[in-house]
Homo-oligomer: A and B are copies of this chain.
Amino acid sequence: MNWKYKIDSPVETLDEIHDIAKKLVEENGPYRVVLAVGQDLLSLSGLNMGREQGLVEPILVGHPRRINETLDELGFRQQDWMIYSEKDYYNATQKAARLVMSGMGDILMRGKLLARDFFKALFDHKLELRKSGSFWSNVVILEIDELDRLIYLTDPALVAHTDIPGRLKIIQNATYLASFLGNDEPKISLLAAVESVTPGMPVSLEEAAISKMSERGQFPEGVVVDGPLSLDLSINPEAVKKKKMDSPVAGRADILVVNNVHIGNVLFKSLVTLCGAKSASTIIGPEFPIVLTSRSESPQNILYSLALSIMMVGDKD
């Protein structure tokens, strides 16, 4: 990862990311997004919105007949789309990745296949995409009406379950993204059902250990981690006041860290599906941006993910 975009002031809304992307496009032209297994209704809707705004130039890799059927279903003209034929989803994903690795594309996007299968194809040793020692995780940026800041949630999709070393890497990745968007001193909450450290709940013990590392100054300067914390104590200052809790993170968390993908996924979907949260999702770890959309997202949210990816690519040389 070597994202070069230099930010002037911290990003506080997803629309700001959208605006930055527009400015980058003015200077560099549209960014090429390669969709792996392109026959995906939602991805194509989002990409179409992005293209209409001049932000992206989609390249579809997948089953040509199915892609054309999907384009028909959406009422899009087939001849407007660049399509590489590759019927097998595993091969399509690797081909799409190779297009980006070779510089023919700027951004990789998942189409109509399971996240698991998508990453399996990308992690294939022959592809040499994931460098040894690099750790990939998914971070979702959420804009929620009730809150005055962006919330980073990790990991709702990619990393199934983590022990302490894994959790530290997840934190590092999310911190990297927050810093890229201008927040160098994120407050990080380790989510649990309780705020008391409970011997019978291993997760709470692990979280306590990690937050003690923060007290000991083992995280980069400015980064503060605390846990276990419940969701309300993480983000709701009122709840913290009622509880009379003394914590440098409680009520003001920027980054929410869960210990397994089920918690992250259910929280993400509750916020997007039932609370109308806006979102942008990305993978931290690879050398180029990867857009991993979710069914529950709207085309507008996919557009935010594309805009974030454009920022990550930055100025093209």
Given the known interface contacts A191-B262, A193-B264, A270-B231, the answer about A200 and B242 at a Cβ–Cβ threshold of 8 Å is no
Contact with B along A290-302 (1 / 0, CB 8 A): 0000111000000
Query: A231 is contacted by which of B191, B242, B265 (Cβ under 8 Å)?
Result: B265
In the complex the two chains form, is A274's CB within 8 Å of B271's CB? Answer: yes
Q: Which residue of B lies closest to A232 (CB)?
A: B296
Chain B residues contacting A194 (CB-CB under 8 Å) are 114, 116, 265
In the complex the two chains form, is A269's CB within 8 Å of B230's CB? Answer: yes
In the complex the two chains form, is A266's CB within 8 Å of B193's CB? Answer: yes
Q: Which residue of B lies closest to A114 (CB)?
A: B196
Given the known interface contacts A160-B200, A295-B239, the answer about A266 and B263 at a Cβ–Cβ threshold of 8 Å is yes
Query: A144 is contacted by which of B230, B243, B274 (Cβ under 8 Å)?
Result: B274
Q: How far is the CB of A41 from chain B (nearest CB, A)?
A: 7
Q: Is A312 an interface residue (CB 8 A)?
A: no
Query: A270 is contacted by which of B198, B233, B261, B270 (Cβ under 8 Å)?
Result: B270
Chain B residues contacting A263 (CB-CB under 8 Å) are 262-263, 266
Contact with B along A176-209 (1 / 0, CB 8 A): 0000000000000001111010101101000000
Chain B residues contacting A201 (CB-CB under 8 Å) are 160
Q: How far is the CB of A205 from chain B (nearest CB, A)?
A: 13
The CA-CA distance from A243 to B112 in the complex, in Å, is 10
Q: How far is the CB of A92 from chain B (nearest CB, A)?
A: 19
In the complex the two chains form, is B269's CB within 8 Å of A41's CB? Answer: no
In the complex the two chains form, is A266's CB within 8 Å of B275's CB? Answer: no
Chain B residues contacting A258 (CB-CB under 8 Å) are 262, 266
Chain B residues contacting A42 (CB-CB under 8 Å) are 242
The CA-CA distance from A271 to B272 in the complex, in Å, is 11
Q: Which residue of B lies closest to A40 (CB)?
A: B242
> Which residues between 236 and 270 of chain A lie within 8 Å of chain B, taking CB atoms?
236, 239, 242-243, 258-259, 261-267, 269-270
> Which residues between 25 and 55 of chain A lie within 8 Å of chain B, taking CB atoms?
41-42
Q: How far is the CB of A55 from chain B (nearest CB, A)?
A: 24
Q: Is A157 an interface residue (CB 8 A)?
A: yes
Q: Is A80 an interface residue (CB 8 A)?
A: no
Chain B residues contacting A160 (CB-CB under 8 Å) are 193, 200-201
Q: Which residue of B lies closest to A259 (CB)?
A: B262
Q: Which residue of B lies closest to A270 (CB)?
A: B270
Q: A156-B193, A230-B296, A267-B267 are in contact. List 20 more A-B contacts (CB 8 A).
A: A114-B194, A116-B198, A146-B273, A160-B201, A191-B266, A193-B262, A230-B266, A231-B269, A231-B270, A232-B272, A232-B294, A236-B296, A239-B273, A258-B262, A258-B266, A259-B262, A263-B266, A266-B267, A267-B270, A274-B275
